[in-house]
């Protein structure tokens, strides 16, 4: 059977290492810190006061259901900036089965030139 010591050996990657126990301790410490920080905030938190309401530049707050940002809109800005890239990729992924085969032929041709001609 697997010995416990074998499990606990550390991994050397060259510029760093990984030890299961150290990592376990680090995670516990991180949880502890998070717990303390949460406790600090919890003291001053009072329910049902002005403090719990969100502030939207003075605009009225909508219902929670209406405020949920839908999946497609989450990275709106990112996709807007990369519009050129996306248009290109859309043209590439056109869903035509013939083109799927064409890409295979193209890659084979390029590899052929690289391997055989050079």
**Residue 96 makes contact with another protein by CB under 8 A:** yes
- The pair of three-digit structure tokens given for residue 100, joined into one six-digit string: 């799927």
Complex with another protein: residue 29 or 67, whichever CB lies closer: 67
Q: Which of residues 4-43 bind another protein (CB under 8 A)?
A: 6-11, 13-16, 18, 20, 23-24, 27
Residue with tokens 């219902």: 63
**Residue 108 makes contact with another protein by CB under 8 A:** yes
Please report how close the Cβ of residue 66 comes to another protein at its closest, in angstroms.
9
- The pair of three-digit structure tokens given for residue 34, joined into one six-digit string: 């998070």
CA–CA distance, 26 with 31 (Å, rounded to integer):
9
The CA-based diameter of the chain, rounded to the nearest angstrom, is 76
- The pair of three-digit structure tokens given for residue 76, joined into one six-digit string: 């709106």
Inter-residue contact 52 to 64 (CB < 8 Å)? no
Complex with another protein: residue 37 or 67, whichever CB lies closer: 67
Complex with another protein: residue 6 or 36, whichever CB lies closer: 6
Residue with tokens 């839908």: 70
Judged by the rule CB under 8 A, the positions of this chain that interact with another protein are 2, 6-11, 13-16, 18, 20, 23-24, 27, 64-65, 67-72, 74-75, 78-79, 82, 85-86, 89-90, 92-108, 110-112, 114-116, 118
């Amino acid at each position: 059977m697997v010995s416990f010591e074998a499990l606990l050996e550390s991994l050397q990657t060259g510029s760093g290492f990984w030890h299961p126990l150290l990592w376990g301790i680090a995670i516990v410490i991180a949880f502890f810190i998070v717990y303390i920080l949460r406790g600090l905030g919890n003291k001053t938190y009072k329910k049902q006061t002005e403090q719990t309401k969100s502030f939207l530049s003075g605009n009225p707050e909508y219902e929670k259901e209406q405020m949920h940002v839908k999946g497609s809109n989450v990275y709106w800005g990112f996709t807007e900036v990369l519009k050129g890239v996306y248009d290109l990729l859309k043209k590439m992924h056109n869903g035509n089965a013939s083109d799927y085969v064409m890409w295979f032929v193209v890659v084979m041709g390029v590899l052929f030139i690289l391997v055989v001609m050079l």
